[in-house]
Structure 1
Amino acid sequence: MGFLRRDFLKLGLTQAIVSAVGVPAFAATEQDGRSADGLPFQTAQRLSPSILQGATDATRTQFSILHLSKQQFNTVVRNSAGQIWQPEKIEILQQPFSEFQITKVYFAGLNLGELFFLDLLGAKDEVIERREFGMLDLNKSTLRYALCSCMDEGRHEPKIWQNLVGQNPDVIFFIGDSTYCDKGECEFPDGDTRRLWSRYVQARRTLEIYYSKRLIPIFATWDDHDFGSDDVNTTNWHHVAESQANFRAFFAQADNYTEGYFHGPGISSVLRAGQHQFLLMDDRSWRLEKTSSARYAHWGQQQEEWALEMIAGFEGTTWIMNGSQIFPEMVYKESMSKHRGQFNGFMGALKRIPRKVIFASGDVHFSEISKIESAMLGYQTYEVTSSAVHSKCFPGLDKISKHPRRMMSTTMPNYILVDSIHQAGTFTANVYSCSARNVVNFSCQLSV
């Protein structure tokens, strides 16, 4: 599957154009421990270190390393010339009931354009684990990034992660359900906060992305399953502070350590890269019951005001990334639009800001692109839903759950890959739904 960024960017289209859909020649049903694309689930949990690269800029980066507490090592960065960097800072996070811990390491003084190696060194300075990585150019005019959600390790497919890494994205966004705290075998029952740590550990020990030879910066937010349990909110989940602390422990997203990245209210955050701004929203810490019409039932007041301030103060285009969908109102699924008070209030405020936004979401176990009519915000925009990388997929679900804004969809296990540029006040993106086996389920070009 080739992605011709240069050719696409020369097109400069002003509306979405649907391409031919790549249709795999195998049955889209799960059976005998295999996914809808015919690949076997691989759910073995590993004992070797699980490593994630987090927020990164041109000179600084940070890593989250999950490992057995009894496993001791030193961490250094090397380049191909043999130059060595020691960590600027090290943090260790542990729980008394777990045999695994998180070690976070922070490095500064690195350079763009170089290939680096993160080395874990044993007692005799031998390399016991090595990953390669690069730095992130926040001034690029074009960006390539992946949108991922719904990663049930019980249906883990390594090949889809290998496919993603092979597309060489600059960054990866996790937009919800990177862990299913309420599923899987665990010694602690649902509702016990110790289960949060334990299930995050199990996911980190399983997913291929954490064992990739080449690391790519990951920026994350959550939805219900990695917050605590299925469809929970603050009226029936009373461990918000514990959930927030657990989430922050596993991801490498220190506030203001790297250029262009900082925290908002709750576990929300923002990444700014050139004329691209990405708001990773927290759709759980203030959420009320799904039928609530309260003015701030979805994001809370503080977070909405923060988001509007970020959008108004940024000259480029802003992605608003949310775990739940924003616009669709499907009967069986949550969405911001069902919180009518906050949805109407936020859209009204957004319409008064002379800036443009585009939306991203996950959750629903199929991917789709929705066209948002210009009457909503004063210009045509889109919502790109990416779901699921590997979770329970129901062939035909998108055909049953229809809505008038949908342009295209797929129920195959997939992630969304985006190539985008912001030029002369216009945001243009090439969007692909990608599965393992180099299948493109749908693709289109969007302009906002």
Structure 2
Amino acid sequence: MNAAHTPPSGINSRRRFLAGLPAIGLIAAHAADEAPLQDIVFGSCLDTHDHPMLDRTLTLPRDLFIFMGDNVYADKGGIPMMQEKYALLKNSRFFKGLKNKPILATWDDHDFGENDGGGSYPHKKEAQVEFWNWLDEPASSPRRQQEGVYQAQTFGPVGKRVQVVLLDTRYFRSPLKKVPKDKAMLGGSYVPTDDTSTTMLGAAQWSWLSQVLQQPADLRLIVSSIQFAPEAHGGECWANMPHEQQRLLKLLQGQTAVILSGDRHWCEFSHNGVYDFTSSSMTQKHPRGSPTPNKFRCVPKTYHLPNVGQLHIDWSAATLTAKIFGTEGNAKIEQTLAFKDLKVA
């Protein structure tokens, strides 16, 4: 390995460095000497860095932590506020407690810099710089050079490989279709569009994703800051662009995959071609306390207090267990699925 490809230290470990390189063989060769992932903890929406749920999160078994967006709330004070909020998170007891294991992250609107923001946000390039600064991404990293914070990482040896694909649903996203308030749904004013020229991920990210999903993996975790599987509910979700929703399902066809999502400030498990486990918010109680209708909800129960999600992989049984934990430490929602049931039809 030449000097230009010296792996970084800290949370940007050698495995993350290799994942950023174009050579698939390098990823596989590195993964061969790793222990397989067993426990993945995932969460979203942190408006404070001192909360009992964050302390509880640090007690959970964890081989990897995934920030799924709204990692800071910095959409009202420009880049200076963003820098301040990231500094507070970076120096928090919670973030320091996570750093003994790998960390991966994507963003949502509040850390992107504009509430419900998309591709037209004028300061998205500056926001991306601050995102990577927070994670100590090296100046020479390929991720610094691309537009958008999408990325992928493969963990584990052959036969037990987990690929984590983190999507960017902000940087390239087209404007959403909106109706007047008197025609809005319970969750808001956004409605599905029939304009197939609109995009959720943008051409470059779609092209990258189609290549990434060809890499070998025994289980794929697709991280989307907004919900994928639920029916349209008035808020931001993939159902607002049905053609893009179908495009992702087509790419995932035949794959053993699940989607992890956040944003909603409550938890629910859904299935609409693929399983979608929503965990949100880590530090906030949902003010209404009731969910929007969702015909694709596959577990009847929802949860609306501070929470975090956890996946446990039982490689010998070939099963995946998804759980939502509250501050008390007991599971509020739980579902176990065989790998064969996770295959996208």
Shared fold (TM-score, shorter chain, > 0.5): yes
Which whole-Å CA distance do the structure 1 matches of 2:331 and 2:110 have between them? 27
Query: Match of 2:277?
Result: 384
Q: Do residues 158 (structure 1) and 51 (structure 2) align?
A: yes
- Partner of residue 335, structure 2: 444
Give yes or no for the alignment of 1:322 onto 2:224. yes
Structure 2 contact 232–240 (Cα < 8 Å) conserved: no
- Other-structure match for 1:285: 171
Relative to total residues, which structure has the larger strand share, 1 or 2?
A: 1
Is residue 356 from structure 1 mapped to residue 256 from structure 2 by the alignment? yes
Distance 2:261 2:167 in 1: 10
- Normalising to structure 1: TM-score of the pair? 0.60
Aligned pair in 2 of structure 1 residues 446, 178: CA closer, same or farther (>3 Å)? Answer: same
Distance in 2 of aligned mates of 1:256 and 1:280: 20
Q: Deviations over 1:362-396 (max 9, x none)?
A: 00000111123xxx4xxxx4101110100242353
1:268-283 maps to which residues of 2 (within 5 A)? 268-274=150-156, 275-283=161-169
* 5+ long unaligned stretches in structure 2: 1-8, 19-30, 178-192
- What secondary structure, in the 3-state scheme, does the structure 2 residue paired with 1:146 have? strand
1:30 aligns with none
How do 1:4-43 residues align onto structure 2 when only pairs under 5 Å count?
none
SS at match of 1:397: coil
Listed as ranges, the matches of 1:12-411 within 5 Å are: 54-57=11-14, 139-153=34-48, 156-182=49-75, 190=77, 192-205=78-91, 207-212=92-97, 215-235=100-120, 237-254=121-138, 266-274=148-156, 275-291=161-177, 293-295=195-197, 297-351=199-253, 354-372=254-272, 376=273, 381-394=274-287, 396-398=289-291, 401-406=292-297, 407=299, 408-411=301-304
Match of residue 130 from structure 1: none
1:434 is aligned, of 315, 320, 325, to: 325
| Root mean square deviation of aligned Cα | 3.1
Cα–Cα, structure 1 residues 137 and 211, in superposed 2: closer, same or farther, change >3 Å? farther
Contact 1:142–1:421, Cα closer than 8 Å, also in 2: no
Give the SS at the match of 2:213.
helix
Asked whether the 8 Å contact 1:329–1:337 carries over to 2, the reply is yes
Per-residue deviation, 1:430: 1.3
Ranges in structure 1 where 5+ consecutive residues have no aligned partner: 1-51, 62-135, 184-189
Residue deviations 1:261-311, cap 9 Å, x none?
999762111110121100011111101112253445111111112112111
1: distance between equivalents of 2:239 and 2:17? 38
- Is 2:231–2:296's contact at 8 Å kept on the other side of the alignment? no
Contact 2:37/2:162, CA 8 A, preserved across alignment: no
Q: 1:326/1:60 Cα in 2 relative to 1: closer, same or farther (>3 Å)?
A: closer
Instruction: Give the share of equivalent positions with the same residue, in percent.
Output: 21
Aligned equivalents of 2:67, 2:267: Cα separation in 1: 14
Asked if 1 retains the 8 angstrom alpha-carbon contact of 2:151 and 2:165, the reply is yes
**8 Å contact kept, 1:365–1:392:** yes
Distance change in 2, residues 1:346/1:142 (3 Å): closer
**Please, what TM-score do these two structures have when normalized by structure 2?**
0.76
1:316 CA drift (Å): 1.7
- 1:405 positional shift: 1.3
- Cross-structure match for 1:417: 310
Aligned partners of 2:309 and 2:324 also within 8 Å: yes
Per-residue deviation at 1:342?
Answer: 1.9
| Deviations 1:202-232, CA, capped at 9 Å, x for gaps | 4434x43124397332111100000002101
Structure with higher Rg: it is: 1
Number of corresponding residues: 296
- Give 2:136's aligned amino acid: A
- Pairwise CA distance, 1:420: 1.2
Q: CA deviation at 1:444?
A: 1.7
Q: 2: CA distance between counterparts of 1:138 and 1:392? A: 42
Residues 138, 222 of structure 1: alpha-carbon distance in 2 compared, 3 angstrom cutoff = farther
4+ residue stretches of structure 1 with deviation over 6 A? 58-61, 261-264
Check the 8 A contact 2:51/2:283 in 1, yes or no.
no
Q: What SS is found at the alignment partner of 2:321?
A: strand
Cα distance, 1:58 vs structure 2: 7.5
Q: Given the superposition, is the C-alpha separation of residues 270 and 366 from structure 1 closer, same or farther in structure 2, using an over 3 Å criterion?
A: same
Kept after mapping to 2: 8 A contact 1:268/1:280: yes
Separation in 1, partners of 2:136, 2:232: 34
